[in-house]
Chains A and B, each alone.
Chain A
Amino acid sequence: MEDKRTILIVEDDKYIINFISMSLKKENYRYYAAKSVEEAVSLFYANQPDLIILDLGLPDGDGIEVIERVREKSQIPIIVVSARQEEQEKIRALDMGADDYVTKPFYMGELMARIRVAMRKHIQVPGSQMKEDVFTCDYLSVDNEKRKVFIDEEEIHLTPIEFRILNLLIANRGKVLTHHYIMDEIWGSTEGVESGNLRVFMAGLRRKIEKEPAHPRFILTEVGVGYRFSS
């Protein structure tokens, strides 16, 4: 029983709880379901889940409140499920500390994949391993010490900013990074930095490390939100 991971579902629609919990059961996860902000917070304290699936629209408040209160205590992955079209809500949730989001309607396979990525990432990083010496994934390998990037063993040249962006993405792989967050990390502040700048750097970086820019292997764009590094 010990190896069973626990997931907290925060969602107020019984049909959605139903099909998420069925899929979780099939994947051998243990789960709890909360239907309100208060219930979510108390279940979080009582059961110490490994991951939270969170709907932003809850009857007694905003799901973002849950993120705030969970983040006071823990860094466990939070995946936001949102029916809202408004990009701002998602971005706010991500900036508040959510790791990822899926928009309704979504396929269960998609959510399961996100859960797996988030879990893996969470286990991998017990605080220390933020910077691996050499990161290798598929045909891409990044040598942090020598500051070199290889595609199929062949070295490619990245500008310092491109290198830093790539490193930031790799360190947060699987997680959606908002434009705001990346600009803040790379340029220190978002003041005076055109958001177009970042997009141009990303497009340039993608041209260098992706074999097929139309079907990116590593750098996925979340239009209107940010970027995600897929490992």
Chain B
Amino acid sequence: MKKLIRHPQVVYIARLLVIMTATTVFSIWLSNFGIGKENTLMVFMVGVLLTTTCTGGYQYGIVVSVISVMIFNYFFTVPLHTFAITNTNDIVLIFFFLTASVISSSLTVRFRKQLEIAQKNEQTARLLYEMSESFINVTGKDNIIQLGIRYIYEHTKYESAVELQDETVVDGSNGKYTSKDYMMVPIIGLTKQIGVLKIYNHNQGLTTEQELLIKTAANQIGIALDRELIYSEQEKIKLDMEREHMKGSMLRSISHDFRTPLTGIIGDCGLILESDGQDMDSIRQLAGDIDEQAAWLMKMMENILNMTKIESGKFEITKEQEVIEDIVYEAVRHVAGLQEHRKFTLTMPEEILLAEADGKMLVQVIINLLDNAMKHTQEGGRISLSVSWRNGRAYVQVEDDGDGISDDMMGHLFDEFTTSSEGGSDQVRGIGLGLAISRAVVTAHGGEIWAENRLEGGARFIFWIKAEKV
């Protein structure tokens, strides 16, 4: 029974019968009051129109018109209760009734169809709109593609896969389909094809709507991916420009700062070569100068090398468990003149501190801080290095009694190419990479580094990294 009801034709016929019976009963009831047959026909006309609207096609309207005519003929025309017609008037009446009902029912049907089409179009339009809107908010290549595949699946029930030209493959069907029963739709960006969309429709063809939906999805994927591409390219260009700018200022800085010691070295060598080897003392003095300047160049080069590592984004620290005191002692050993020309004090905690760290890089940080302290103190000045431990952090502190940090330096102390030697004496040289590297290294260890002026005068640099007591 239920199956029967589901069949639309059965429903339509049922409706038709109900409407027919109702009209017939109503007209017979009306005729009891002496209402004329022209009006009775009007009732039947209403019945025909009702049937066409309630059923699905004008064939029902025609059937109803014919039945109505027969019922009218049977009940209302003379001779009553026969299908014969004697009155010419009645024939004309019936003829026009038929014509009118056929025309009106076909009009109704056409109207209905147009309504349906309009509704469907609206639905499709809304769907497409929703889809393109949702693509706006999605970022990330995979997300965009997943969204497209999901939309296609939701509205066509076909699974699909996207293959991009950069060999990204996102398969919405989990690789279930290996055979060639798919349809390919190109995914086109703003300027060129960027991939294909494969629809696993089992070679069954698509309805116009499905095709429209799939093509729109492909277009939207293309546009969204292009947008993504353009965005990331823009970012890259921006980064490249910054890097280029960096490189430029670095090269200028380097060539300027390297020229001075190189001039010195060449001059010293010239003097040695020209001397007849008699004045050993001055030769030794010149050789000492060469040595000093070459060592400075070496140190700068190492810093630049570290800096380029950081700049190129390939800055990787290889952490191992290191004992902090090993690192500190190693650093102290490498700062020339620290023990001889300054009053240097070193304070280490009793306990052994163990940290996950890149030993070599941390040594470099401490060397940089100590070098800075050397640069900013006079012969015989005080420099102290102390290590302490609090709450899982090892604090390393370098203090000096030099000239301290000026206010306008304070803000960008750890930026690249910040030096205090601008217009200053030749004695204090540096291209301002040391602290920038130090900060990069400490940050890479998850720690912090900062500087302050001591109340007693001079500067204090502190950094901490995670460490544990053993």
Selected from A105, A195, A203, the residue in CB contact (under 8 A) with B320 is: A195
Place the interface of chain A in its size category. Answer: 10 to 19
Cβ distance B437 to chain A, nearest Cβ, rounded Å: 14
Q: Cα distance A221–B298 when bound, in Å?
A: 23
For residues 182 through 217 of chain A, which have their beta carbon under 8 Å from a beta carbon of chain B?
194-197, 199-200, 202-204, 213-216
Inter-chain contact A203/B352, CB cutoff 8 Å: yes
B329 touching A195 by the CB < 8 A rule? no
CB of B300 to closest CB in A, whole Å: 13
Whether A196 lies near B354 (C-beta < 8 A) is yes
Q: Which of B294, B327, B329, B358 contacts A213 (CB 8 A)?
A: B329
Q: Is A132 an interface residue (CB 8 A)?
A: no
> CB distance B354 to A221 under 8 Å?
no
Contact among A214, A215, A223 for B327, CB-based, below 8 A: A223
Q: Mark B354-394, 1 if CB is under 8 A from A, else 0.
A: 10001110010000000000000000000000000000000
Min CB distance B465 to A, Å, is 14
Q: Which residue of B lies closest to A105 (CB)?
A: B298
Determine whether the beta carbon of B363 is less than 8 Å from that of A214: no
Q: What separation, in Å, do the CA atoms of A196 and B358 have in the docked complex?
A: 12
- Residues of A within 8 Å of B275, CB to CB, are none
Closest to A216 in B: B329
Contact status A214-B329, CB under 8 Å:
yes
The answer to whether the Cβ of A224 comes within 8 Å of any Cβ in the partner chain is yes
Tell me whether B470 is interfacial, beta carbon within 8 Å.
yes
Chain A: minimal CB distance from B287 (Å):
12
Residue of A nearest to B470 (CB): A200
Residues of A within 8 A of B295 (CB): 105
Report the Cα distance A194→B325, complex, angstroms: 18
- In the bound complex, what is the Cα–Cα distance between A184 and B268 (angstroms)? 51
Known: A87-B360, A195-B321, A214-B348. A223 touches B354 (CB 8 A): no
User: How many pairs of A and B residues are in contact by the CB < 8 Å rule?
Assistant: 54
CB of A204 within 8 A of CB of B352, answer yes
Name the residue in A87, A214, A216 with the highest tally of chain B Cβ atoms < 10 Å from its Cβ: A214
B residues 312-332 with Cβ under 8 Å of A?
Answer: 320-323, 325-327, 329-330, 332
Q: Which residues of A contact B298 (CB under 8 A)?
A: 105
Interface: B346 (CB within 8 A): yes
Q: Are A202 and B360 in contact (CB under 8 A)?
A: no
> With an 8 A cutoff between CB atoms, is A85 at the interface?
yes
Known: A196-B321, A199-B323, A213-B325. A221 touches B352 (CB 8 A): no
Given contacts A87-B360, A203-B352, contact A223 B320 (CB under 8 A): no
CB-CB nearest in chain A for B320: A195
The reply on B241 being an interface residue by CB < 8 A is: no
**Chain A nearest CB, measured from B449 CB (Å):** 20
Contact (Cβ within 8 A) A223 B321 = no
Is the beta-carbon distance between A214 and B346 smaller than 8 angstroms? Answer: yes
> Which residues of the other chain, B, contact A200 by a CB distance below 8 angstroms?
323, 352, 354, 470
Say yes or no: is B237 at the interface (Cβ < 8 Å to chain A): no
* B297 to A, closest residue via Cβ: A105
Contact B352 A223 (CB under 8 A): no
**Residue with the greatest number of chain A CB neighbours at <10 A, chosen from B295, B320, B348:** B320
Q: Which of A204, A215, A224 has the most CB of B within 10 A?
A: A224
Tell me, in angstroms, the Cα distance from A194 to B332 when the chains sit together.
Answer: 27
Please report which residues of chain B, range 264-291, place their CB below 8 angstroms from some CB of chain A when the two chains form the complex: none
Q: Which residue of chain A is the closest to B346 with respect to CB atoms?
A: A214
Given A196-B354, A200-B470 in contact, is the A223-B359 Cβ separation under 8 Å? yes
Contact among A85, A87, A202, A224 for B305, CB-based, below 8 A: A85
A203-B325, A203-B352 in contact; A221/B330 too (CB < 8 A)? yes
* A88, B320: Cα distance in complex, Å: 13
Residues of B near A195 (CB, < 8 A) are 320-321
Q: How far is the CA of A23 from the CA of B354 in the complex (A)?
A: 42
User: B428-466, CB under 8 A of A: which get 1 and which 0?
Assistant: 000000000000000000000000000000000000000
Q: How far is the CB of B396 from chain A (nearest CB, A)?
A: 14
Q: Which of A85, A87, A202, A216 contacts B323 (CB 8 A)?
A: A202
Residues of A within 8 A of B354 (CB): 196, 199-200
The interface residues of chain B lying within 8 Å CB-to-CB of A204 are 352
List the 8 closest A-B pairs by CB distance, nearest first: A196-B321, A223-B359, A199-B323, A221-B326, A203-B323, A203-B352, A223-B330, A224-B360
For this complex, 8 residue pairs linking A to B, each with C-beta atoms less than 8 Å apart, are A87-B360, A200-B354, A200-B470, A203-B352, A213-B329, A214-B346, A221-B330, A223-B322
A residues whose Cβ falls under 8 Å from a Cβ of B: 85, 87, 105, 194-197, 199-200, 202-204, 213-216, 221, 223-224
User: Told that A195-B321, A196-B322 touch, could you supply 10 new A-B pairs with CB distance under 8 A?
Assistant: A85-B302, A105-B295, A196-B323, A199-B326, A199-B354, A200-B470, A203-B352, A204-B352, A224-B320, A224-B359
